[in-house]
Amino acid sequence: MVIGVVGSGAMGSGIAQVAATAGHNVILVDNNAQSLSTAERKLRETLQKLQEKQKIASAEAVLSRFTFSENLADCAPCGLVIEAIVENLDVKKKVFAELELHVGDRCIMATNTSSLSVTSIAAACKLPRRVLGLHFFNPAPLMALVEVVPAIQTDDALVPDMKQLMATWGKTPVVAKDTPGFIVNRLARPYYGEAIRIYEEGIADMATIDWAMTEIGGFRMGPFALMDFIGHDVNYVVTETVFQSFFFDPRYRPSLSQKRLLEARWLGVKSGRGFYNYASGSLKPVPIKNQEQGKQIVDRILAMLINEAVDALYLNVAVVADLETAMTKGVNYPKGLLAWCDEWGADSCLQKLDFLYKIYGDDRYRASRMLRQYAFDNKKFI
Ligand SMILES: NC(=O)c1ccc[n+]([C@@H]2O[C@H](COP(=O)([O-])OP(=O)(O)OC[C@H]3O[C@@H](n4cnc5c(N)ncnc54)[C@H](O)[C@@H]3O)[C@@H](O)[C@H]2O)c1
């Protein structure tokens, strides 16, 4: 099957590399010639390095499967086209409608959107049943997880087919309902949001929260270091989009501290300054390593994360196994959040949330109906 990839930026070129390495002929399309030639040069360099490390047999063989094009019409022979252009609903809808004029009726059309409704993108097409989300993670060649997201119009048969195809590409597919943030970008919101709340309230400073989450919680990166790494232009915008898409549910409310960083263009590591200062010679803040306080910080953030996972299960966003795989493979959490709940006890988690709800009186801390039930029945998720 010939694979089309539209958009040759960070994600599109990564996805194209994965498909070509799996043996497909790939047509990589971009309306910006500069972006296309940068993608070609970077792909050549990456594939050369992979050949030197003996991860692939021949860079030339993989490169020979590529066609670079500025014209969507060149997608005509494709059996699957994956769109990875700018995250803008109107632009994506336009591209899908135009793409449909060029491809055959049996061509599957996928979007790599992180936060837009797949259903609304599908609605731009004459045959919406062939549209679905295939959400890869950055960098696509290295991250195993792919969220397969059927729109409400999508033909049911496409889901197992796409899961199978992703597995042949060496990926780990999970299925997510077309709801804001799918699995990973929804379940991970409290990791950032609750950490910022704790910081804004002056309970602990950033370095202390990061220390607690890594040293006591076992996460690879603390929330502030991670947000700086992702970039506030990406991380804040995902939070804001999820918040708006959930009809302003306070659980997803963005923070002013992060918005100000974005306004100042203090985007994180890439701009030299975010929550932390990355300028050479600047002093790193020192955490206050108080075990008891550290545990309280971890428990509060973890209770919010678990509640989000349980609520996603309750609302049929995904099955237990996929919720767990998404968080361990998509964002490298040390454990799945439902397994963590089992270990901690649904009752202890519920008590923490009910306490927060009582002292803050904020709907943000309302416990999921399912968590309450599991605590009452003393049930486990796994
Ligand atoms: N970057 C991430 O971490 C990440 C992770 C998962 C999903 N995504 C999603 O993937 C998509 C692409 O993100 P990215 O980070 O690769 O963006 P990017 O800015 O690096 O690349 C986008 C590319 O699309 C091209 N483009 C824009 N409009 C086009 C059009 N009408 N026709 C053809 N090409 C067009 C641009 O020239 C650019 O080369 C977005 O929907 C984003 O939400 C991004």
Residues catalogued as catalytic: 114, 135, 147, 185
* CA 121 to ligand 1 centroid distance, Å: 15
Do 171 and 197 share a structural domain?
no
Same domain, 112 and 238: no
Rounded to an integer, the average pLDDT of 188-193 is 98
Q: Is residue 181, in this structure, part of any structural domain at all?
A: no
Q: Which atom of ligand 1 is nearest to the CA of 113?
A: 41
In a domain, 382, yes or no: no
Does 152 share its domain with 201? no
What is the average per-residue pLDDT within 167-194? 98
Q: Which atom of ligand 1 is nearest to the CA of 11?
A: 16
Distance (Å) from CA 9 to ligand 1 centroid = 5
Q: Do 222 and 213 touch, CB atoms closer than 8 A?
A: yes
The last residue of a domain, from among 175, 194, 215: 175
State the average pLDDT over residues 78-106: 97
Q: Are residues 224 and 319 in the same domain?
A: yes
Residues 234 and 288 occupy one common structural domain: yes
Per-residue pLDDT, averaged over 219-225, amounts to 97
Residue nearest to atom 3 of ligand 1 (CA): 138
Query: What's the domain range around 276?
Result: 186-377
Q: What is the predicted pLDDT for the residue at 115?
A: 87
Has residue 46 been placed in a domain? yes
Mutation choice for ligand 1 from 85, 111, 116, CB with most ligand atoms inside 8 A: 85
Query: Average pLDDT, stretch 97-105?
Result: 97
74 and 193 share one domain: no
> Which amino acid, 336?
G
Q: Render pLDDT for 357-376 as a digit per residue (tens, 0 to 9).
A: 999 999 999 999 999 999 99
Question: Each residue of 296-315: pLDDT tens digit?
Answer: 999 999 999 999 999 999 99
Question: Could you tell me the distance, in angstroms and rounded to a whole number, from the CA of residue 134 to the centre of ligand 1?
Answer: 14
Q: Is residue 22 part of a domain?
A: yes
Residue 209 has a pLDDT of 98
Ligand 1 atom having least distance to the Cα of 92: 31
DSSP state of 216: I
Nearest atom in ligand 1 to the alpha carbon of residue 114 is: 43
Which residues form ligand 1's pocket by a CB distance below 6 Å? 6-12, 29-32, 35, 84-87, 91, 95, 112-114, 136-138
Mean pLDDT of the chain: 97
Separation of CA 11 and ligand 1 centre (Å): 6
3-state helix, strand, coil split of the chain in percent (to 5) is 55, 10, 35
Same domain, 203 and 165: no
> In terms of Cα–Cα distance, which of 327, 239, 311, 222 is closest to 275?
222
Taking the centre of ligand 1 as the mean of its atom positions, its distance from the CA of residue 283, in whole angstroms, is 35
Q: Which residue has its alpha carbon closest to ligand 1 atom 7?
A: 114
Residue 2: per-residue pLDDT: 98
CA distance 335 to 343: 10
Q: What is the layout of strands, in order, in the sheet containing 172-175?
A: 66-69, 26-29, 3-6, 80-83, 108-111, 131-136, 145-150, 172-175
Which one of 108, 141, 175 terminates a domain? 175
110 and 190 both lie in a single domain: no
Total domains in the fold of the chain: 2
pLDDT of residue 345: 96
pTM: 0.95
- Report the alpha-carbon distance of residue 237 to residue 272 in Å, rounded: 19
- pLDDT at residue 232, as a whole number: 95
pLDDT tens, position by position, 226-241 = 999 999 998 999 999 9
283 compared with 69, residue with greater pLDDT = 69
